[in-house]
Amino acid sequence: MSSNRQQKIRNFSIIAHIDHGKSTLADRLIEKTGLLTQREMKNQILDSMDLERERGITIKLQTTRLIYKNNKGEEYILNLIDTPGHVDFTYEVSRSLAACEGAVLVVDAAQGVEAQTLANVYLALDQNLEIIPVINKIDLPSARPDEIKNEIEEIIGIDASDAPLVSAKEGLNIEDVLEAIVKKVPAPTGDEDAPLKALIFDSYYDSYKGVIAYVRVKEGTVRPGDKILMMATGKKFEVNEVGVFIPRPMAVDELKAGEVGYITASIKNVKDTQVGDTITSASNPAKEPLPGYKKVVPMVYCGIYPAEGEKYENVRDALEKLQVNDAALEFEPETSNALGFGFRCGFLGLLHMEIIQERLEREFNLDLITTSPSVIYRVTKTNGEVLMVQNPTNLPPSQEIQFMEEPIVDAQIMLPNEYVGNVMELCQDRRGIMKNMEYLDEKRVSLHYELPLNEVVYDFFDALKSKTRGYGSLDYEFKGYQRSKLVKMDILLNKEVIDAFSMIVHESKAESRGRVVCEKLKDVIPRHMFAIPIQAAIGSKVIARETIKAMRKDVLAKCYGGDISRKKKLLEKQKEGKKRMRQLGSVEVPQEAFMAVLKYDDNK
Ligand SMILES: Nc1nc2c(ncn2[C@@H]2O[C@H](COP(=O)(O)OP(=O)(O)OP(=O)(O)O)[C@@H](O)[C@H]2O)c(=O)[nH]1
């Protein structure tokens, strides 16, 4: 049962497929609830974007408290809880949802239900949330709200007959959404006198206050001065401040069962406030933590090295700074014969990896070389020892390997039916096993595949997009390890193994992959004074080979004497090009070579 206080609270998230209008709708809800004037809103949203930038994931909207007064004059506190919008962050999404009683499901009136819509709905149903479908973008000429209502009912199996029809962009019918939230989302429950149980669903580092933990209080009450215990990590702290987001953090006296807000306690590292952990009272601890905690572990690893002229310490400093705010980022020093000193970094997925790389380059102004991403292989040696290998160079010699296993994901792909052939071919090519195919309506199909993660991390998403003209959508989750015939493929330049190019591939794919990599390297490595053989090899067996012919490259020959400024420009350009080169043994390799080996090119 909810108390009178709790009767006036609604905790909800907005879930949507990317681009269906989640952020725009959130902005409108903030605007409609009149907490902020237009101008304040602009400033605050800008502020929060700065903060987001610090946090590394572009989320745009943020957890915030809205005060809604309905037409009967009753006032409600609506806590909008943000969820990150990408498959890499499924666990974080599930914890944010665990902090709510309801979810607003935004569906684009032209696009309809997509893979991520469905994935998010399943997560919300797992948490027993009340789902409120909202059909957005009804201003579009291509909007087909009635069909989409049917689609929601048929595919998701929830009643959408009275789903609000809105245009977040034009601010149409936003009130209906607020009304639906108040009517349909259950009020929170929980005893405010019980021992404290607060769920951490997010956190970030603030240089003045230390870590700010976003919490949903499920049981009990928390106040400044309380001694608290993190149940998963066992760490103890004393609370400095509790508060709510409006969306700027604002201190309050206490947070009680049913409320959403933040706690600060001079915590130095986000690793101490793990998403999904339960905060309890150190003196009067709860018997059991809240369910669902999981330690997040990286799924994808790659090497990050300073480019020529860049300092190793600068890269370490930058990684340390990012890690303060990103509990999922891991790194440790490693050395490569080819690239020298650098770091092996672990990420939740490819998007997470790309975000970190981009931030290192943009915010810290670093020039980096990134090696091919690798998943974690489970290797059982002939002596029974089991190793988790995330760097191909650490693979034991083949005679010591009894068998290897690779991570498999469950993938859900939704697409218009005219592309089914293309996509099945793609999945087949990536060693996928089809589990199920379902017609969602006469135009759209849902495919369920088991795919090796190793095949997904190399540009699968790009390939899917290009094979479906951008209409295919993908969602996946880790399923487990499976035995597989894997081999380590080395790449040799001028007869020398370049360790940074080594990769673990499926036996059946090694030859074609080797050929593509050799061809690509031939395209991107400039000619030298000598011929350069490029080889792909498994052990001592060469499986593909190309040669870059020798040539003396004289850029000035093109200038026919004359124009001195043009000559200068060319020389400068050449110098610029040199900076981005890397000496690997006797061969100079441009930075793009490292990227080139990552991409399969299906058309080649
Ligand atoms: N025509 C129209 N466009 C809209 C409407 N709502 C949002 N959009 C547009 O759709 C695009 C995506 O909107 P966002 O609010 O950023 O969508 P999102 O779901 O938050 O997307 P991500 O943040 O990328 O996950 C933007 O270009 C919006 O301007 C609407 O009601 N009508």
Number of folded domains that form the chain = 5
Residue 96 scores a pLDDT above 50: yes
Contact 424, 437 (CB under 8 A): no
Q: Is the CB of 140 under 6 A from ligand 1?
A: yes
Cα angle 100, 101, 104 (rounded to 5 degrees) comes to 85
Does any domain span residue 217? yes
- What pLDDT is attached to residue 389? 92
550 burial level (CB within 10 Å; 0-12, 13-18, 19+): exposed
- What pLDDT is attached to residue 58? 38
Give me ligand 1 centre to Cα 23, in Å. Answer: 7
Residue 147 scores a pLDDT above 90: yes
For tokens 């907005």, the residue is: 14
Which ipTM value was assigned to this complex? 0.96
- What pLDDT is attached to residue 41? 55
Q: What is the DSSP string of 451-520?
A: EEHHHHHTTHHHHHHHHTTT--EEEEEEEEEEE--EEEEEEEETTEE-GGG-EEEEHHHHHHHHHHHHHH
Q: Is the CB of 14 under 6 A from ligand 1?
A: no
- Tell me which of 5-19, 221-235, 350-364 is least confident: 350-364
What is the tens place of the pLDDT at every residue in 111-131?
Answer: 998 887 887 888 898 899 999
Residue 571 scores a pLDDT above 70: no
**Average of per-residue pLDDT across 402-416:** 92
Q: Is the CB of 52 under 6 A from ligand 1?
A: no
Residues 68 and 138 in one domain: yes
Closest by alpha carbon to 461, among 116, 120, 91, 121?
Answer: 116
Q: Is the CB of 556 under 6 A from ligand 1?
A: no
52 or 514, which is more confident: 514
Residues 366 and 390 in one domain: no
- What pLDDT is attached to residue 282? 96
Which residue pairs from 564-568 have beta carbons closer than 8 angstroms and sit at least 24 positions apart in sequence?
A: none
Contact 374, 416 (CB under 8 A): no
Q: For ligand 1, what atom is nearest to the CA of residue 166?
A: 31
Binding-site annotation: residue ranges: 19-24, 136-139
Residues 389 and 332 in one domain: no
What is the tens place of the pLDDT at every residue in 8-33?
Answer: 999 999 998 888 998 889 889 988 88
- 328 Cβ neighbours under 8 A, 6+ residues apart: 296, 298, 347, 348, 352
SS3 209: coil
- Out of 184, 208, 238, a domain closes at 184
DSSP class of 126: H
Residue 601 scores a pLDDT above 90: no
- Out of 457, 484, 511, a domain closes at 484
- Tell me which of 167-176, 449-458, 467-476 is least confident: 467-476
Taking CA atoms, 99 is separated from 8, 85, 278, 452, in Å, by 16, 16, 12, 32
**Average of per-residue pLDDT across 565-574:** 59
Residues 310 and 357 in one domain: yes
Q: For ligand 1, what atom is nearest to the CA of residue 26?
A: 15
CATH number of the domain that residue 39 is part of: 3.40.50.300
Residues 469 and 518 in one domain: no
SS3 79: strand
- Band (pLDDT 50/70/90 cuts) for residue 602 is very low
For residues 516 and 173, what is the distance between their CA atoms, to the nearest angstrom?
Answer: 53
Cα angle 231, 234, 237 (rounded to 5 degrees) comes to 95
For tokens 């809240």, the residue is: 290
Residues 180 and 328 in one domain: no
- Band (pLDDT 50/70/90 cuts) for residue 258 is very high
Does any domain span residue 147? yes
Contact 204, 325 (CB under 8 A): yes
- What pLDDT is attached to residue 603? 43
- What pLDDT is attached to residue 551? 72
**Average of per-residue pLDDT across 414-433:** 93
Q: For ligand 1, what atom is nearest to the CA of residue 58?
A: 23
Looking at this protein, which amino acid is placed at residue 443? K
Give me ligand 1 centre to Cα 55, in Å. Answer: 22
Q: Is the CB of 223 under 6 A from ligand 1?
A: no
Q: For ligand 1, what atom is nearest to the CA of residue 170?
A: 31
Q: Is the CB of 459 under 6 A from ligand 1?
A: no
For residues 35 and 380, what is the distance between their CA atoms, to the nearest angstrom?
Answer: 59
- What pLDDT is attached to residue 432? 95
Residue 217 scores a pLDDT above 50: yes
CATH number of the domain that residue 564 is part of: 3.30.70.2570
Looking at this protein, which amino acid is placed at residue 288? E
**Average of per-residue pLDDT across 189-210:** 92
Residues 180 and 229 in one domain: no
405 or 207, which is more confident: 405
- Band (pLDDT 50/70/90 cuts) for residue 83 is confident
Q: For ligand 1, what atom is nearest to the CA of residue 167?
A: 31
Q: What is the mean pLDDT of the chain?
A: 86
Q: Is the CB of 22 under 6 A from ligand 1?
A: yes
Contact 22, 14 (CB under 8 A): yes
Q: Is the CB of 172 under 6 A from ligand 1?
A: no
Q: Which residues of 563-585 are buried (b: 16+ CB within 10 A; e: fewer)?
A: eeeeeeeeeeeeeeeeeebbebb
Beta-bridge mates of residue 369: 305
Does any domain span residue 190? no
CA-atom Rg of the chain in angstroms: 27
Q: Is the CB of 18 under 6 A from ligand 1?
A: yes
What is the tens place of the pLDDT at every residue in 524-550?
Answer: 888 888 889 999 999 889 999 999 988
Phi, psi (5° rounding) for residue 38?
-50, -45
CATH number of the domain that residue 316 is part of: 3.30.70.870
Residue 52 scores a pLDDT above 90: no
- Out of 229, 250, 281, a domain closes at 281
Residues 169 and 214 in one domain: no
- What pLDDT is attached to residue 373? 84
* Ligand 1, atom 8, residue with closest C-alpha: 21
Residues 218 and 230 in one domain: yes
Does any domain span residue 435? yes
Does any domain span residue 398? yes
Taking CA atoms, 119 is separated from 12, 15, 295, in Å, by 17, 10, 21
Residues 366 and 395 in one domain: no
Binding-site annotation: residue ranges for GTP: 19-24, 136-139
CATH number of the domain that residue 256 is part of: 2.40.30.10
Give percent of the chain above pLDDT 90: 49
DSSP class of 442: S
SS3 522: helix
Residues 453 and 322 in one domain: no
What is the tens place of the pLDDT at every residue in 380-396?
Answer: 999 999 999 988 888 99
Residue 204 scores a pLDDT above 80: yes
**Average of per-residue pLDDT across 399-418:** 92
pLDDT winner (highest mean) among 138-147, 263-272, 350-359, 466-475? 138-147
Residues 521 and 404 in one domain: no
Contact 496, 518 (CB under 8 A): no
Q: Is the CB of 28 under 6 A from ligand 1?
A: no
Closest by alpha carbon to 120, among 420, 432, 419, 477?
Answer: 477
- Substitution candidate for ligand 1 out of 17, 20, 23, 24 with most atoms within 8 A of CB: 24
CB atoms inside a 10 Å sphere around CB 368: 20
Does any domain span residue 286? no
Q: Which domain holds residue 98?
A: 6-184
Contact 422, 430 (CB under 8 A): no
Question: Which pTM does this prediction carry?
Answer: 0.77
* Ligand 1, atom 29, residue with closest C-alpha: 169
